[in-house]
Amino acid sequence: MAEAERVIGTPDVDDDEAAAPAEQPKGKRRLAVLFAVALVAYLLDLGSKMLVVAKLEGHDAIEVIGGLLQFRAIRNPGAAFGMGEAYTVVFTVIASTVVLVIARLARKLYSLPWAFALGLLLGGALGNLTDRIFRSPGVFRGAVVDFIAPAHFAVFNLADSAVVCGGILIVVLSFRGLDPDGTVHKD
């Protein structure tokens, strides 16, 4: 049998190796984790808000843990703690920017913990962005549905929780020296 011609600069490959299926690149799996986590966070947020609007809006708060935790429906046109109500469009632009930055960063993602953290951030940003775009009073001016009301704290939603948890995880990963591309550095 004649030996196969090899292009200069390519590695030698046995026929057995050539017949074996190629392994899926690690980056593809990390991307799948990012989008799966984002989808779960987004759907949980969207579902919870639909339930709150249908069953809780216009009704009294529900005591969950005595005076420590209630479910109370409010519409928040501002940011955390109800600040910046006049800047709803700005918050919409910020959330859109976060989504775009994560999409760009995803191309170089080879770290599973970073995929999970960015998935939480993406799902949460999309959850609140959906409210800003589609809820009243209008496109890009919509008020976010918040309903989790701990005593002596701001009322928030599952999207806010996902963003905060993703942000905390990103800080921890950064302090531990793990980069999104999977490299570890000791600075």
Contact indicator for 158, 42 with CB cutoff of 8 Å: no
Please give the structure tokens belonging to residue 29. 């799996």
CB-count burial class (<10 Å; 0-12, 13-18, 19+) for 109: buried
16 catalytic? Reply is: no
| Choice among 160, 179, 181, 187 that is catalytic | 160
Cα 71 to Cα 61: distance, rounded to the nearest angstrom:
6
**Cα 125 to Cα 136: distance, rounded to the nearest angstrom:** 18
14 catalytic per annotation: no
Residues 146, 179, 181, 187: which is the catalytic one? 146
Angle at 142 between CA 138 and CA 145, to 5 degrees: 140
Dist. CA 186–CA 135, nearest whole Å: 46
Residues carrying an active site annotation:
146, 160
